[in-house]
Amino acid sequence: MIYSLLVLSSPVSGHTAQTAAAFAHAVLARGHSIKRVFFFDDGTYNGSSQAIFPQDETDRLQPWLDLSQQHSVELILCISSAIRRGLLDDTEAQRYDKSGSGIHSAFTVSGLGQLVDATAHSDRLVTFGG
């Protein structure tokens, strides 16, 4: 079965984003595949390269990086949601004359068409947050 995920929650607002990452890892461990993870609204904060978590907390970025690096899962940040939250890739930083990227390189900034495409090419779209 092919899954796609829609993540709407930030990494610091409860455990929803962590649950989404754990779900993705469990899906892959069971032999299924993931077409794409799309981060929308506050979910785009999951792609921040600037977030630092205290030593006694779980690193909330690493599970997403593992998905990208170990399983080649696409991690897409909604461009309009990201820009509104000050999360820019190098291209958008240049466009808006800002100092640099605040997005981890494992994440790609793109439009809602990526969510539509993921839905069209997946058996299930699972949403986390609201």
Domains of the chain by range and CATH?
A: 2-51+59-128 (3.40.1260.10)
Active site residues: 78
- Name the stretches of the chain with pLDDT < 50: none
Q: What is the pLDDT of residue 127?
A: 98
Q: What is the pLDDT of residue 114?
A: 97
Strand-pair partners of 1:
none
What are the residues whose beta carbons fall under 8 Å from the beta carbon of 26, sequence distance 6 or more? none
Q: What is the pLDDT of residue 119?
A: 97
Q: What is the pLDDT of residue 38?
A: 98
Q: What is the pLDDT of residue 58?
A: 78
Q: What is the pLDDT of residue 56?
A: 77
Instruction: Label residues 93-103 b or e (16+ Cβ within 10 Å = b).
Output: eeeeeeeebbb
